[in-house]
Amino acid sequence: MRTYVIADDLTGAAEIAGVAHRLGAHVRLTTSVDGLHAEDEVVVLATDTRSMNREEALAYTETVVDALRTMEGHDRLDRLFKKTDSVLRGHVVAELKALEGLGYRQMMLLPANPSKGRIIKRGIYTIEGRLLSRTLFRHDPEFPATTSHVVKLLGGGIPYITTRTRRVRLPEGISIGEVRSMEDMKQHVARFDDTTTVWAGGADLFQTLLQHHGRNEVQRALFAGLGTRRSLIVLGSTARHDLFAEPFFQRNRVAVSPMPDEVFAGGKTEAWLQASLQLANEAESLLLRIPQAITHDEGKALQLRHQMAETVLGLIASWHPEEVVIEGGATAFTILKGLAWSDLRIADEIAPGVVRLHHPQSGTHLTFKPGSYPWGGCFR
């Protein structure tokens, strides 16, 4: 059975592709609707709709629906999975409703990732015991988590389903499920039919689905690290990590180029690019970051994303790094779009959510990581 995944950001798409790779599936990640026609067992489409406004996100999702509906030989898709943010950032309900045109009877949203301490119990979302609204996600610049009540977070009016709910079938439309553990996730998956259900959620749900259908982890070589390869490291998210204690930074000369205040204020990036190029040519690797504090401001987030992407594209064109490591899904998508690289192959799943991909035409490797996830063994 072929599985089609629609992901609203690039790092989430890479995370799902990494899960499929770990479970032995042949997988392709694409940023183009045309890539849905690939014959791979798992096809993951990154749409970047999370970084769009609601109208743009709906319009693009309708384009995806039209492409899937008209695919030759598919009266109904084999299995459809909608990758959502685990803490429900983005236009989650609107995009799921747009998928109703594909003819599925129900949509089960299971966003929790219990393997990472992210659970939903009695309708309340907590992360490692802390209320969602009291975590850093409350200060997300585009989708702040102002409540921990998942139904309220989604705008209300959505049935809440537990594994103890006495239902033979899900109600039509969208439902959100309680998940306190991986066992809860397995029970939800076992109760409902893939041919009538669109599954929506995060990596734990996707892994559970594939395992429910007979997939098991395959033995793969561990990622050996970046070594001494020329690397460009891009911190595009609002998350903050001290990377300089990592072995890669201890072993190699890594220059740091922070975004200047004048660029942060909206100025041109040319001087920052030239300064970064000079640093890169004098060092072995380069790290770009945004040191200034970012508050809730969608316009500012969009501005910074494009300024970072402009600088990265200039560095790739002039400096030719062998490895590009990007934190932050929207930043990664903007960079990939600027490169016009639409199809990627999985090289390594470095850690859950940290995935290294290969662009065959250029020979460049790109590693993507969501802002809130740990780096794993990326910089060993």
Please give the backbone phi and psi of residue 55, each rounded to the nearest 5 degrees, phi first.
Answer: -65, -45
Q: Which residues pair with 327 in a beta bridge?
A: 235, 369
Express the helix, strand and coil content of the chain in percent, nearest 5 each: 35, 25, 40
- Of 295 and 47, the structure prediction assigns the larger pLDDT to 47
Answer yes or no: is 67 within a domain. Answer: yes
Percent of the chain beyond pLDDT 70?
95
What is the secondary structure of 176-189 as a DSSP string? EE-BSSHHHHHHHH
Which of these three, 184, 212, 240, is where a domain ends? 212
In a domain, 300, yes or no: yes
Six-digit token string for 267: 């100025």
Between CA 168 and CA 107, with CA 189 as vertex, the angle to 5 degrees is: 70
Question: Does residue 78 have a pLDDT over 80?
Answer: no
Question: CA geometry: angle at 205 spanning 201 and 206, to 5°?
Answer: 95
Interatomic CA distance for residues 26 and 370, integer angstroms:
23
pLDDT of residue 71: 77
CA gap 339, 171 in Å, rounded:
43
The model's pLDDT over 236-274, given as tens digits with 9 standing for 90+, comes to 865 556 788 899 999 999 999 999 999 999 999 999 999
Q: Are residues 204 and 238 in the same domain?
A: no
% residues pLDDT > 90 (the chain): 72
Q: How confident is the model at residue 371 (pLDDT cuts 50, 70, 90)?
A: confident
Domain identity same for 205 and 241 = no
Token duo for residue 82:
């909608």
The Cα–Cα gap between 289 and 215 comes to: 39
The angle formed by the CA atoms of residues 66, 151 and 111, to the nearest 5 degrees, is 60
pLDDT at 170: 63
Return the SS3 of 155: coil
Range of the domain at 314: 231-369
Residues 21 and 153 in one domain: yes
Give the residue from 149, 183, 212 where a domain finishes.
Answer: 212
With residue 127 as reference, give the H or E element that holds it: strand 124-127
What is the number of domains present in the chain? 2
Q: Per-residue pLDDT averaged across 6-22, rounded?
A: 95
Phi, psi at residue 49, to the nearest 5°?
Answer: -70, -20
pLDDT band for 169, please (50, 70, 90 cuts): low
The CATH number given to whatever domain includes residue 315 is 3.40.980.20
The pLDDT of 329-339, averaged and rounded, is 91
| 379 inside domain | no
The yes-or-no verdict on residue 168 having pLDDT over 70 is: no
Q: Do 83 and 160 fall into the same domain?
A: yes
- Mean pLDDT across the chain: 91
Whether 378 has a pLDDT exceeding 60, the answer reads: yes
The radius of gyration of the chain from alpha carbons, rounded to an integer in Å, stands at 20
Q: What CA–CA distance (Å, rounded) separates 204 from 19?
A: 9
pTM: 0.89
CB 91 within 8 A of CB 58: yes
β-bridge partners, 109: 176, 200
Scored b (16 or more CB within 10 A) or e, 111-123 reads: bbbbebebbbeee
